[in-house]
Amino acid sequence: MYNPSAAGGAANTQSGSRVFVYEVVGLRQNEATDQNNYPIRRSGSVFITVPYNRMNEEMRRIARLGGQIVSIRPLSANHQGNGTSAPETTNGLQQEKKEETKPMTQAKEKEKDVPVNIYRPNAPFIGKCLSNEELVREGGEGTVRHLKFDLTGSELRYLEGQSIGIIPAGTDKDGKPHKIRLYSIASTRHGDDLNDQTVSLCVRRLEYKHPETGEMVYGVCSTYLTGLNVGDDVKITGPVGKEMLLPDDPKANVIMMATGTGIAPFRAFLWRMFKEQHADYKFEGLAWLFFGCAYTPNILYKDELEELQAKFPDNFRLTYAISREQKNPQGGKMYIQDRIAEHADQLWELVQKSNTHTYICGLKGMEGGIDAGMSGAAEKFGVVWADYQKGLKKEKRWHVETY
C-alpha cells in the first residue's frame, strides 16, 4: 500500500521531481487514517505531501477515506530535495504553514512588454480593409466574416490574445459618433501576410428579433464591419487586453474552449504554434481546442484547423461540440460542457500541471457549463472545483474573455 511518508524519496527521481501539498478536510478518523498516521487537526485540515507521479492515486485514496481536497499547492523548490529544509514531519505530513508558491515567471515577463492603447478613441489609426471573407458555409446559420486590415504607416503592434477597438462609421440616433466596440484579434503578431503590417478579425453580424416589435435588428458595428468593401477606411484603436495572452513557454499546455467567434484569439494562438514557424517560438506542449457551434458549416476555420490537427497529431487535439447535430449521452444537444464532462478526467489531470493554461472565449454564460464539467471531474478526487479554480486564477492559469 502506498505510504505518503515515501513521498520525499519519490520526489528525488527525475520524473517525480515536483512535489505538491494537499490540504484535506473531512478525513474520517478510523483504522485506515490511523494506519497512515494522518493527524487530524482541530482546524479540520491535514496537509499531505505528494510527489507528482502519485497525485491521482493519492486523490482517490483521500476520496475513499471521506476527505475533500480544498487546495493543492506546489511545494517550492527549496523545500524539495533531501528534505533538510522542508518543513515536513517524519511521517511525510506537511506542517500547517503557508507555502511559497512558485511565481509564474511568464505572466510577470509578459506584463513588462505588452503593447496597450497605442491608438486611443480620440485619435484612432485609419486602416484599410484588405479582405472580407465569409466563414459560414452553406447550410450554416448567420454571417461570420474574416476581415484583414492594412496597418501600413501605423505604430500599431499587438500580441496574440489582445483585442482592438473599432469605431463604426456614421453617427448614432443623437447624431453623435458611435462608440468603439472591441474585437479579439484573430491573427498572430505577424499578421496573416506575415509582414507585421496587418491585423485580422473574426466578426459575427449581430442579428436578433426585437423582443417587443418582432422586427429584425442588426448590430451597429458588426453590420458595419461585415459589410466593409476592400479598400474602405476603418478607424482602429488599441490594442487592449492582458487576460488572454499566450504563455511564452513553448512547453506549456494550452487548453482552449471557444464558442462561435470566441475562436478568434485561438486562431492566433494556433497559427503561432503550428502554422507559422518562427525561430523564436517552437511549440512543444499540448494544445487542445474545444469548439462549440450549432451546425457543421458553422465550424469556423474548419479546414485549416483540421489540416493543423492532421499535421501535428501529438501536439494538437481538436474536439467539436455541434449542438444541433450531435447528442450528449443523455440524448440532449451536445454543448461544449458535455465535451468537457466527457474528457473531464484528462482535463483534470492537465489543469493540475503547473504549466497548463486554460482559456475560455465566446458567449457570455459559457463558463457555467464548463465549471459544471470540471466540478464533476474534481469531485471524483474529492476536490472542490470552485476553490481549486481560485488558485488557478491567482496563478494566472485560468483565463476568461466572454461577451
Active site residue 184: yes
Q: Considering the rule CB under 6 A, would residue 347 count as an interface residue with ligand FAD? A: no
Active site residue 293: no
Return the number of the residue (160 or 401) whose C-beta is nearest ligand FAD: 401
Q: Considering the rule CB under 6 A, would residue 163 count as an interface residue with ligand FAD? A: yes
Task: Return the number of other C-beta atoms located less than 10 Å from residue 308's C-beta.
Answer: 21
Return the number of the residue (169 or 206) whose C-beta is nearest ligand FAD: 206
Closest approach of ligand FAD to the CB of residue 260, in Å = 8
Active site residue 45: no
Return the number of the residue (72 or 185) whose C-beta is nearest ligand FAD: 185
Give, in order, the Cα–Cα distances in Å from 132 to each of 159, 176, 232, 300, 360: 22, 27, 11, 14, 26
Say how many residues touch ligand FAD, by CB under 6 A.
20
Stretch that binds ligand FAD, among 61-69, 117-125, 148-156, 221-229 (CB under 6 A): 221-229
- Considering 71, 163, 184, 222, which one is annotated as catalytic? 184
Q: Considering the rule CB under 6 A, would residue 221 count as an interface residue with ligand FAD? A: yes
- Considering 183, 224, 301, 359, which one is annotated as catalytic? 183
Return the number of the residue (19 or 244) whose C-beta is nearest ligand FAD: 244
Burial class, 155, CB count within 10 angstroms (exposed 0-12 / middle 13-18 / buried 19+): exposed
Dist CA 376 CA 262 (whole Å): 24
**What secondary structure does DSSP assign to 60-120, as a single string?**
HHHHHTT-EEEEEEEPPGGG-TTSSSS-B-TTSBBPS-PPPPPP-HHHHHHHHT----SB-
**What secondary structure does DSSP assign to 232-289, as a single string?**
-EEEEEEEE-STTPPPS-TT-EEEEEEEGGGGHHHHHHHIIIIIS-BTTB---S-EEE
Q: Considering the rule CB under 6 A, would residue 184 count as an interface residue with ligand FAD? A: yes
Closest approach of ligand FAD to the CB of residue 206, in Å = 4
Closest approach of ligand FAD to the CB of residue 325, in Å = 22
Closest approach of ligand FAD to the CB of residue 202, in Å = 5
Active site residue 200: no
Return the number of the residue (54 or 181) whose C-beta is nearest ligand FAD: 181
Give, in order, the Cα–Cα distances in Å from 168 to each of 222, 226, 265: 9, 11, 22
Dist CA 166 CA 151 (whole Å): 13
Q: Which three cell numbers stand for residue 63?
A: 476520496
The one-letter amino acid code at 395 reads E
Closest approach of ligand FAD to the CB of residue 220, in Å = 4
Stretch that binds ligand FAD, among 201-209, 317-325, 345-353, 381-389 (CB under 6 A): 201-209
Angle at 195 between CA 191 and CA 196, to 5 degrees: 55
Return the number of the residue (32 or 182) whose C-beta is nearest ligand FAD: 182
Q: Which residues bind ligand FAD (CB under 6 A)?
A: 163, 181-184, 202-204, 206, 208, 211, 219-223, 261, 264, 401, 403
Residues assigned a catalytic role: 183-184, 361, 401, 403
